[in-house]
Amino acid sequence: MTTQSTPHSPASAPRSPASQVPHPTRATLELVFASSLWGFGFIAVVWALEAMSPLEITGWRFAIATSLGLIYLKFGRRELWTQVGLAAWPGFLVAGTVMLQTWGLQYTTATKSGFLTCLYVLIVPLLEAVTGRQKLHMRTLICGAIALMGVGLMTGLDQALGWSAPSDQLSPEMRAKMRLNWGDVLTLGCALAASGHIIAVGRAVEKVRQITGREVDSFRFNVHQSLWAGVPLLALTLPIFGVNVSPLGDEAHAWPLANAWAAGWKPIGGLIMLAVGSTLIAFALQVRAQKSLDPSLASLIFLLESPFAAIFAFWLLGETLGGPQLLGAALIMGSVAIASWRVADRSPAPPGSSHL
């Protein structure tokens, strides 16, 4: 989904690096790099889940990103709390997106999660059509139907119908993850929440531009939404709520980072990668890069997150895809790519376009 408007940026107004419009070539490279960080993020979540719960991972992920971001803004002598309130809804929605995705990865594979998550590209125009903000095109409906076929193949519909059987070489745990499971449902919910986040960010960016008459500082906006995403979830992990959410059982306490450290380098390394790479750097690069890229091109680059996730999952987790799942992945990627490609709109998007 792309929101566009004519920017009002006074020539005399100072502009921070995060609010400047990058060269299209640099913006493309930045989005590719951001997509690789998000792709690796699926593996980082799997590592973190070895010692932390989805609630703890999500809360600490955004809390660490917010802390580092605020330190950077303070050292840069920037005003910290401008338009903080406008980042509230995007923050809540991105928290829900990440929470559902992390929760789902307890039951499904990182590869399936990566491909199912990208369905937000098809869900956004459907939501926009329901709210009357955008006309629904037949192409979107056709691509949506094809994508649903891909989802069926990715989640083991062929096995449920008796068309194929899982490989005997797979472990029982991996067989369960390859079939349709609760994690797939949670991941589809993640795609829906991500669609809401895209719409919320677009509206928030437009409001900031109307209020200030300047381009949005992407780094500051990302820090603010991380604040709204992390603090409420992190508060729920405290003992005062009487809920033990740690996978380590009765030994859990209010500082799960110590548990993660004691469990080995993977949980703490995964959490740091999520906070710094997937949250602090990737989201800021995304908002910045989209200011100079055609929205169709940006949508296509975002799709690289799924194959990056599959590559990293194969390399680091030993995950593989069978023939039906490869076909399903191809159907999802192809339909999403066609739906996001706007042949009639090839002019550069004005600064401030948002597709998160």
Task: Specify if 353 maps to a domain.
Answer: no
> Does any domain span residue 350?
no
Max Cα-Cα span within the chain:
68
CA distance 280 to 269: 15
The answer to whether position 79 is within a domain reads yes
Domain boundaries, position 120: 29-164+173-247+255-340
Measure the CA–CA gap between 101 and 124, rounded to whole angstroms. Answer: 18
Whole-number Å distance between alpha carbons of 72 and 67: 9
Tell me how far apart the alpha carbons of residues 269 and 264 are, in angstroms, rounded to a whole number. Answer: 9
- 177 occurs within a structural domain: yes
Strand partners, 3: 354
pLDDT confidence tier of residue 235, bands split at 50, 70 and 90: confident
Separation CA 94–CA 201 (nearest Å): 10
Decide if 313 contacts 320 (C-beta within 8 A): no
3-state class (DSSP) for residue 278: helix
The predicted pLDDT at position 98 comes to 92
Alpha helices in the chain (DSSP H): 24-48, 54-75, 88-104, 110-117, 120-130, 138-154, 157-160, 172-178, 182-212, 218-236, 256-262, 265-272, 282-289, 295-302, 305-312, 323-340
Q: Are 206 and 352 in contact (CB under 8 A)?
A: yes
Confidence at 2, pLDDT banded by 50, 70, 90: very low
Residue given tokens 């799997």 in the structure block: 46
d(CA 314, CA 321) in angstroms, rounded, equals 9
Q: Which residue has the higher pLDDT, 18 or 312?
A: 312
User: In terms of C-beta density within 10 A (0-12 exposed, 13-18 middle, 19 or more buried), how is residue 164 classed?
Assistant: middle
**Where does the pLDDT of residue 13 fall: very low under 50, low under 70, confident under 90, or very high at 90 and above?**
very low
Q: Give the CA angle between residues 41, 47, 48 to the nearest 5°.
A: 85
345 within a domain of the structure (yes/no): no
Instruction: Please report which confidence band the pLDDT of residue 123 belongs to, taking 50, 70 and 90 as the band edges.
Output: confident
Question: Residue 115: pLDDT band by 50, 70, 90 thresholds?
Answer: confident
d(C-alpha 194, C-alpha 187), whole Å = 10
Percent of the chain scoring above 90 in pLDDT? 17
Q: Looking at the 3D structure of the chain, how many domains does it have?
A: 1
Rounded distance between C-alpha atoms, residue 70 and residue 204, angstroms = 20
Q: 């869900």: which residue's tokens?
A: 123
Q: Which two tokens stand for residue 287?
A: 């908002």
Is the pLDDT at 182 greater than 70, yes or no?
Answer: yes
φ, ψ (nearest 5 deg) of residue 3: -110, 130
Structural domain contains residue 146: yes
pTM reported for the whole predicted model: 0.77
Distance between CA atoms of 325 and 331, rounded to whole angstroms? 10
Indicate whether 331 belongs to any domain.
yes
Work out the pLDDT band at 203, boundaries 50, 70, 90: confident
Residue in 48, 76, 44, 102 with CA at minimum distance from that of residue 229: 102
Rounded CA separation 115/321 (Å): 12
Taking all residues of the chain, what is their mean pLDDT, rounded to a whole number? 76
Overall average pLDDT of the 235-250 stretch: 53
194 found inside a domain: yes
